[in-house]
Amino acid sequence: MQTPLTPLALLRRWVVDYFNAHNPDAAREFIHPDYTLEIGDVAFAGRDQQWLPAVDEQMRRFPGLGMTVHEVVTASNRAALWFSQHGAQDGPHGPVAVWSGVALYRCLNGQMLGCVAQEDYLTRGRQLKSGRADPVEPPAPAPWDTAPLAQDPEAEGVVRRWLTAGWPSTLSGVRCDDEHLTGDRLVFEVDSVEVLELFSSGQAVAFHARQHGRYRGGLAGTPTGNVALQHLACNGIVHVQNGQISRGRVIRDRIGLRTRLRAGASS
């Protein structure tokens, strides 16, 4: 009997055999038919019904779309990935964009069951409009040699508490969205937080959370006078050292927040 693929092996197949090869047939070999992708406020339910068609559409828009892996975190039946996607819209001579994301995957018995992701579509739009692409961050030197480590409840607690704080983050080692490139910082006061998914592998902690609070500025062309309660979805991989977060990468659903704020201003 063949040994089921580990979450790390599944993630490698996802990146190498499926995504970078643009091969949906490979995806059907290891992704469960009921696979669902949650991204922002949208869910693509069913591998063949909604998810694969949605990714196929993006690959048609970016025919040479590729993915670079920056970090992998694995645990029992879980995996998380910090990545960048990059390509030219409409192929050669089209505008080029690079945008980052953080995704958490659920795995069982050698299959991927689902994913919750955030991708920085706001920065993609900025690059396509300007015609100037951002640099691709350095790749992980050995992502497929990442070893799963024991769970660290103390590190998880540090991250849960940190998520109750507002943005901008005071931690210089944590990069959020494209703020390190543009200098534009989202200001969001957090009243409460729902930690929807979180797991650790040693002192590396991956999370998916929904913060509730009030927008105070930082999104161009977005009104700041609306004090109504909003939510902001965010995914991240952060590292804890000596009881404090030392570094990490966070991607937030800024484009979803902007859409809701603009809709509220026009209603």
Rounded average pLDDT over 202-221: 95
pLDDT at 174 over 70: yes
- Reduced to 3 states (helix: H, G, I; strand: E, B; else coil), residue 78 is strand
More confident residue, 93 or 227: 93
100, burial (CB in 10 Å: exposed 0-12, middle 13-18, buried 19+)? buried
Rounded average pLDDT over 160-166: 97
Query: Which pLDDT score is estimated for 232?
Result: 97
Can you list the positions of beta strands (E) in the chain? 31-39, 42-45, 66-75, 78-88, 96-108, 111-119, 174-176, 187-201, 204-217, 230-241, 244-252
| pTM attached to this predicted model | 0.96
Q: What share of the chain is helix, strand, coil (3-state, %, to 5)?
A: 30, 40, 30
Query: Which pLDDT score is estimated for 263?
Result: 85
Average pLDDT, the chain: 95
Query: Which pLDDT score is estimated for 267?
Result: 33
pLDDT category of residue 266 using cuts at 50, 70 and 90: very low
Query: Which pLDDT score is estimated for 39?
Result: 96
Query: Which pLDDT score is estimated for 123?
Result: 97
* Domains contained in the chain, CATH given: 7-145 (3.10.450.50), 153-266 (3.10.450.50)
